Amino acid sequence: MKHYSLFGSLCRILCVSCCFLVGMNMVIAQNPAEEEIGTDEGSPTNPPVRDPAAHARALNLLGIDGLLLIPESSNDRVMAFDPNTGDLVDPDFIPSDTTNLSTPINAILGIDPNTILVSDQLEDVVLSYDMDGNFLGVFAPSGGPNTSILDNIRGIAISPDNTLLVTVGSGTNADAIAEFDGAGNYLGNLVANGAGGLDSPFDVLLRGNDYLVGGITSDAIYRYGLDGTFLDIFSPINGFPEQVAEAGNGNVLTGNFSGTEEGVVEYTSTGTLVGIYDPSSLGGYRGAYELPNGNILTTNGSGVHEIDRSGNLVETKISGVSARFIENLAPAIVCENIQVQVGIGEPVIVVGNPGCLFDLYNTQCSDDPNDWILLAEDIEIPDSGIITVPSIVGQPDSCYVVTPADSVEPLNAPVKTVPTLGRFALIVFVLLLLMAGMLTMRRKRKA
């Protein structure tokens, strides 16, 4: 960790954030020391008034194309943007909440998909909101702030095991990726303190088979296995890597706040430098997201901006706000036209729309969910539209239903197991043998 003198710390506490104009954009100047520990920019004098129509448009877009969520710490709120154009849709998707937010950094879809989780660097907690922007409470740690677990937190993510991962920058648990279950209970650290040389992590990105974590003090992006084991250094970087994101072609983008490589930095999927994009009118980069047109949406202390890969500023989407990380909320996939095929002793086959995430139950032919037996959960239908559920075979006199993941609302009428043709033929054969034997015995008796 970087250590600062008492004089320097007092200066940071007492100084008033400087502002200057670059072009038409108000830029909030913040040095790396302030960025590392977080600064409370104070409550807005005139909190923004929410536009219900804008929120309705955002919810509608969420169900069609998804949304980009970007917290901003000038007004302590979460904004929503169009994932196709990067245009602002609702500046108050989660409206200004100065009671619970101080420096919101990252807003993601929760483990409960009906919630949004927001990390706050100064509050040292991850907070939960519903889709209407209502505050639900502290999600993690479950008992409230506990700086022995979370202190100076930044980026967050959901693991393949449906647990919450949180970067920890300070305190007794510094330089780790903490892990929490679906109730916000602390499970320990997925990435151990300082593993591989990690110092002051700012974000964690889940890829197919690994995690990437940027260390702002150790000046590198690190690669870890899905079990948290250190694999290697993905790439060194001069400066201050904040959000780490994946582009459509598998390349990696990071918003590099400062240093000789300040800008949005792009790497190949294996860590080879592709380019650094740093328009002259911008600086202090935080978030990064690739738009469908190939341009990059980025954030800094002055707002949200679209830039191209030649280092030009294309458009400022919103100015005068201290914007943070950019998170894509994909539209929810509705499970439709589900069919279940099963025979006694045969695999269970489910047919439906790709992307549908479902649970499989043996209802024991009962309408009461309390009688049901959960056989498999969180199974995703692939692009082919058909899947054989692993390790499950049909049992005699059983009924099978598919439900949406974490629900007991059936998506299909119960399917009762029926004998397969092979078993049916065997039963018929046995019956014929019995009948033949009985006829033979009757003839012998008559004789």
Q: Among 38-42, 57-61, 75-79, which stretch is predicted with the lowest mean pLDDT?
A: 38-42
**Closest of 316, 293, 319 to residue 84, by C-alpha:** 293
Which among 34, 14, 9, 129 is positioned nearest to 322, based on CA atoms? 34
Average confidence (pLDDT) over 346-362: 92
DSSP 386-443: EEEEEEEEB-TT-EEEEEETT----SS--EE-B--HHHHHHHHHHHHHHHHHHHHHHH
Fold designation for 6-329: Methylamine Dehydrogenase; Chain H (2.130.10)
pLDDT at 22: 38
Per-residue pLDDT tens digits for 221-256: 999 999 999 999 999 999 999 999 999 999 999 999
Whole-number Å distance between alpha carbons of 248 and 42: 37
**Are the CB atoms for 151 and 168 separated by under 8 Å?**
yes
**Residue of higher predicted confidence among 249 and 444:** 249
Cβ atoms of 312 and 326 closer than 8 Å:
no
Distance CA 256, CA 206 (A): 19
Distances (CA, A) of 330 to 63, 66, 82, 108, 327: 8, 4, 11, 11, 10
Q: What is the mean pLDDT of residues 341-359?
A: 91
Checking if the pLDDT of 402 tops 50, the result is yes
Q: Using the predicted structure, report yes or no on whether residue 428 has a pLDDT greater than 90.
A: no
What's the chain's Rg over C-alpha atoms?
Answer: 28
Instruction: Count CA atoms closer than 13 A to 89's CA, side-chain side.
Output: 24
- Rounded distance, CA 53 to CA 57, Å? 6
Give the distance, in angstroms, between the CA of residue 171 and the centroid of all CA atoms in the same chain: 25
**Helix, strand or coil, per DSSP, at residue 115:** strand
Which of 21-25, 133-137, 156-160, 389-393 is least confident? 21-25
Q: Does position 341 have pLDDT exceeding 70, yes or no? A: yes
Mean pLDDT of the chain: 89
Looking at domain 339-416, does it have CATH number 1.10.10? no
Residue type, 64: I
* Local structure of residue 138 (DSSP, 8 states): E
Residue with tokens 């003839």: 443
pLDDT over 50 at 208, yes or no: yes
Render the burial of 174-196: b for 16+ CB within 10 Å, e for the rest: bbbbbbbeeebebeebbbbebbb
Question: What is the pLDDT, as a whole number, of residue 408?
Answer: 79
pLDDT tens-digit series, residues 54-65: 999 999 999 889
Q: Would you state the pLDDT for residue 12?
A: 36
Query: Domain spans of the chain?
Result: 6-329, 339-416, 420-447
The DSSP secondary structure of 20-82, one letter per residue, reads EEETTEEEE---HHHHHH-------SSPPPP-HHHHHHHHHHHHHT-EEEEEETTTTEEEEE-
Q: For 401-421, give one letter per residue: b (16+ CB within 10 A) or e.
A: bbbbeeeeebbbebbebebee
